[in-house]
Amino acid sequence: MARSLLLIARQAPWSGLAAREALDIVLAGGAFDLPMAMLFLDDGVFQLAAAQQPAAVQQKDLTANLQALQLFGVEELYAAGRSLRERGLAEDALGLPVRLLDDAELTALLDRFDEVITL
Amino acid sequence: MATMKFTLALFSAPTSPASRRALRFAEAALAGGHEIVRIFFYQEGVHGASANLVTPQDEPDLARQWQDFITAHGLDGVVCIAAALRRGVLDGQEARRYARPAANVASGWALSGLGQLHEAVQQSDRLVCFGGP
């Protein structure tokens, strides 16, 4: 059976290459049809915000790449509810359908995967 | 003791403590009779493949140590090509392709895609990651 991978994205979309390169790992794995999920944690939840204006800081829009996750078969997308609350992000301000997890559910999620990459 | 197959992923530059920790882990893994399926260099980790790092003589040269380690043990050291290009880490083929004046990837390294990370993970008992943003 294929080994499963959880990628935890902790960087804001304006943090440089980190957010994009983390996402690229998942998109590459999706092409191999591997069991993968993505968790947006800490500043990583800013990647989910709708109505971003990356051009204002001469950045490409990451949200198009995030939308591609489901096309690549990566359907398990999660965000830490606590991280959203700490940053004043409401669930209806998110541009991607994710499941919000409380702290206990985060622990269960981590236990469920063979491998975890945090970036 | 049962031996394990490891894949290592390194996300930080050779000047980082994470790079030193990863190398020491890799040395200990081999010394303990374990197998290293692949060492994958991503994000700032790609600088470890540069042959152009010049380190003062009284400071440890992690890029050189990585290269010596990989060569000595015949390991599979793979550098993510997309991450490497963005950071000016090029082999001869890429330097020609993008008309850049020089190649700086040390011998013993392969530039390849992220699929190499996933493939190695599937062949390993454990992925161990070092460093990151």
Is B129 designated active site?
no
ipTM attached to this prediction = 0.92
Choose the catalytic residue: B23, B80, B106, B117.
B80
CA distance B71 to B35: 15
**Residue B14 identity:** P
- Cβ distance B38 to B78 under 8 Å? yes
Structural domains of chain A, count: 1
Per-residue confidence (pLDDT) for residue B1, from 0 to 100? 63
CA distance A22 to A61: 15
H-helix or E-strand containing A104?
helix A103-112
Per-residue confidence (pLDDT) for residue A31, from 0 to 100? 83
- Beta carbons of A18 and B114 less than 8 Å apart: no
Nearest alpha-carbon partner for B39 in B66, B86, B89, B78: B78
pLDDT, tens digit, for every residue of A34-85?
999 999 999 999 999 998 898 898 888 888 889 999 888 898 999 999 999 9
**Residue A54 identity:** P
* Token pair in block for residue B51: 């042959």
Residue of A2, A115, A119 lying closest to B133 (CB–CB) = A119
CATH number reported for the structural domain that contains residue A47 in this entry: 3.40.1260.10
Domain that holds residue A91: 5-118
CA angle, A70 then A97 then B117, to 5°: 40
- Beta carbons of B42 and A21 less than 8 Å apart: yes
- Cβ distance A63 to A52 under 8 Å? yes
Q: How confident is the model at residue A1 (pLDDT cuts 50, 70, 90)?
A: confident
pLDDT, tens digit, for every residue of A2-18?
999 999 999 999 988 99
Cβ-based contacts under 8 A for chains A and B? 50
> In terms of C-beta density within 10 A (0-12 exposed, 13-18 middle, 19 or more buried), how is residue B98 classed?
exposed
Per-residue confidence (pLDDT) for residue B115, from 0 to 100? 96
CA distance B106 to B51: 5
Q: Is pLDDT at A114 greater than 90 in this prediction?
A: yes
Closest chain B residue to A43, measured at CA:
B133
Q: What phi and psi values does residue A15 have, to the nearest 5 degrees?
A: -85, 10
CATH code for the part of the protein at B5-130: 3.40.1260.10
Which residue ranges of chain B lie beneath pLDDT 50?
A: none
B99/chain A closest Cα distance in angstroms:
24
- Beta carbons of B127 and A115 less than 8 Å apart: yes
Average pLDDT score over residue span A20-27: 95
Per-residue confidence (pLDDT) for residue A32, from 0 to 100? 87
CA distance B86 to B45: 12
- Beta carbons of B117 and A31 less than 8 Å apart: no
3-state secondary structure A6-29: EEEECCCCCCCCHHHHHHHHHHHH
Q: Which residues contact A4 (CB under 8 A, 6 or more apart)?
A: A34, A35, A36, A37, A112, A113, A114, A115
Closest chain A residue to B86, measured at CA:
A17
Per-residue confidence (pLDDT) for residue B117, from 0 to 100? 98
